[in-house]
Structure 1
Amino acid sequence: MRLRPSPEVSVAVSPQVSVLSLLVDAVAARRRGLPERWRRRIRESVGAEGQQACRPLGVPGHSVAPDTIVPLPPVADASVESQIAWLLDMRPDALLDDMEQAYGPERVPEHWRWAAERPRRWLNGYASAVSDVWSAIRPLWERAQPLLDLEVERVGTAVVRGALDALLGTLSERIRFADGSLYMSDQEPARYDLGRRRLVLVPMLSGPDATILNLDLPGYVWIAYPLRRADALWLGADPARRAAEELASMLGPARAGLLASLARPTTMGQLATLAGTVPSAITYHCDRLEAAGLICRERRGREVWILRTRRGHEIIDLFSR
């Protein structure tokens, strides 16, 4: 998806999108990295009608689905309960209209045929599945609130500081930002242009490989991605320990360590001592960090001092939130 320079970006928190991701992973069996014990727990929480309704979401080779799977968009700040009520109140022919919008006026794909022939039954079954999964994961969602708050702050800070390119590169391994475009892994790829629309980022409680996109709306597009450090919640560990590992995964362990150690200006000799090596051994890494705009070098008398640039501070800040 092509982005215009300095696009309007916001962040939204939607428990329904997280519920959808977990339904797809655990119930529809499109695995996205959810720990097995949680996959089993979520799958076993969903009744037979709910499991039937979720089957179309896991069919291999297909990713396009009716918008009804998230009946109230993430920007609406709607509760899961209001999403369920909407599904139960929805007219069956509205679901059929939604399918026509998603797939065109021709016959719906085979894997959605059952739902098209029994729209009321599908809506009731899907609402039941959403309710069952929400009951199973609501305590975990509540424990995730501090991480969600940090992610909202991280996105806001990146937007204000003009570090959107760095932010977009950290959303997911399935999302890449380069040359003004977002590249997102999808089973049914297509080209899009953000145009004047707003980009809404939606962190979700999910497996690490999950992404959910809606790029067709007129006023905005939304992209849901795994909440940073949520794996610690699934596994019951401390999420803060992930920060250094995530920075190292982007820069490499050596350069990440050097950048992290530059909280204040440091000479090459001091930096080498901190790294446990000699100055000549870190010159290459400093060259690469400088080329990326993360550090700069200043000669002061006989010594060369290394300083983090503003961009370098922003990168550290993004990964420490």
Structure 2
Amino acid sequence: MIELTVDAAGLARSRFAVSPLHEVVATLMPWGLQATPDTDPWVARARRVLRRARLPLLSELALDGPGYVPDFLNPYPSGPSPTVEEELEQVRCTPPERVLGELEALRDGRPRSGLAGSELPAGVRRAMARGGAHVARQAADEMRRYWELAFAPHWEAAKATLDAEVGRCAGVLAGYGAARLFNSLHPQIEWVEGTLRVESRFRIAQPVPLVVVVPSLVAPRPAVAVDPTRDEDRPPMLIYPVRDKAIACTIAPAAPSAEMAQLLGPTRAGLLAALIQPASTAQLAARHFLSPATVSYHLGVLHRAGLVARARSGRSVLYRRTPEGARLARSR
């Protein structure tokens, strides 16, 4: 159980933030290993990217590591709606000693909080040997690539959903007060007489100056990120899953059905399913780990069949599904 005690002044300073990088990091957590497309529309695709792209540090921490990612990958949101570039720069500029300290804590454990130690993967150890600054730069570079491949095409719709959740919470706060607001977030979050309680396998009980609340479309259950250095400039962050994911389920492209794959071929079916939003040949090639020439060939076939249309946008040619293509993609 995590218990955060917040006084009246701290409650008044507590705020919400919509964080793109927190959605990225949520797919690196242990729950992503058991997630399916039915539980979250992003996680399955993100895991495929993690396994297939050249992201050695992130993939080792998430897939081969101790089941926990270091806190410096979850930067403190500087405002209510930071950009992914701002957050990546925070990761890149993490003090080297903090980077190494958190990785050593993953190795050695934190007995007081219930985090058991575990041997770090070889690639992580090699990166650590080059220094904390090197690890921070490599992590930021890999997270940028991960973001571009698995998240960027869908962030606009995702952010709209998260902003709507913040609006809902603002209405609860205005109409019923802070206690009702916190108790409305999730069944595993409870506000009782000045203490915010979050069900967790970790054991933390401490007073905090305020709480930053971060809604998520990826996290399946609440989590609390507490700065291990107890830096008062970085209060804890409460990440919780949004209650209504009906909109979120339209964010990521669905996998093509077996029938559509048999009709069009798996590559063309995958490209057609991915064209929820207009995209260029280069964008589709990066997302599907194909050469631009291969994507161009298959898009040409779909275009001649009347399933996609194309139009120039600046120097790029963007492809989109036609009504016929959209109907075929939906007939799953």
Fold shared, TM-score > 0.5 on shorter chain = yes
- Taking a change above 3 Å as real, the CA distance of residues 103 and 52 of structure 1, as seen in their structure-2 partners, is closer
Q: Which moved more, 1:50-59 or 1:146-155?
A: 50-59
- Given that residues 6 and 207 in structure 2 are in contact (C-alpha distance below 8 angstroms), is that contact kept between their aligned partners in structure 1? yes
Residue identity matched to 2:213: L
How many pairs does the alignment contain? 231
1:1-321 aligned within 5 A: 1-5=4-8, 7-8=11-12, 9-24=14-29, 29=33, 31=35, 35=39, 38-46=42-50, 47=52, 49-50=54-55, 52-57=57-62, 65-70=69-74, 72-76=75-79, 77-88=81-92, 93-99=97-103, 109-112=117-120, 114=122, 115-119=124-128, 122-123=135-136, 126-135=139-148, 136-161=150-175, 163-194=177-208, 197-214=209-226, 216-219=230-233, 220-235=235-250
Distance, in Å, in 2 between the alignment partners of 1:190 and 1:234 is 33
**Whole-Å separation in 1 of the counterparts to 2:242 and 2:41:** 19
Distance 2:119 2:204 in 1: 21
Amino acid at match of 2:236: V
Look up the SS of the partner of 2:196 in the other structure: strand
Deviations 1:225-270 (A, max 9, x none): 1134234322569xxxxxxxxxxxxxxxxxxxxxxxxxxxxxxxxx
Distance 1:158 1:204 in 2: 18
SS in 2 for 1:146: helix
For the residue of structure 1 that corresponds to 2:46, the secondary structure is helix
Q: CA deviation at 1:66?
A: 3.3
Query: 1: distance between equivalents of 2:138 and 2:212?
Result: 29
Where does the alignment leave 5 or more consecutive residues of structure 2 unmatched? 111-115, 253-332
Identity of aligned residues (%): 19
TM-score by structure 2 length? 0.55
Kindly indicate whether the alpha-carbon contact (under 8 Å) linking 1:176 and 1:182 is maintained by their aligned counterparts in 2: yes
Q: Contact 2:65–2:120 (CA<8 Å) still a contact in 1?
A: no
Gaps of 5+ in 1: 238-321
Q: Deviations over 1:185-233 (max 9, x none)?
A: 2222221223xx1221111221432534226441432211113423432
Distance 1:226 1:35 in 2: 11
TM-score by length of 1: 0.57
Q: Which has the larger radius of gyration?
A: 1
RMSD: 3.9
Q: Distance in 2 between matches of 1:162 and 1:5?
A: 16
CA contact 2:186–2:240 (8 Å) conserved in 1: yes
Aligned mates of 1:102, 1:218 — CA distance in 2: 22
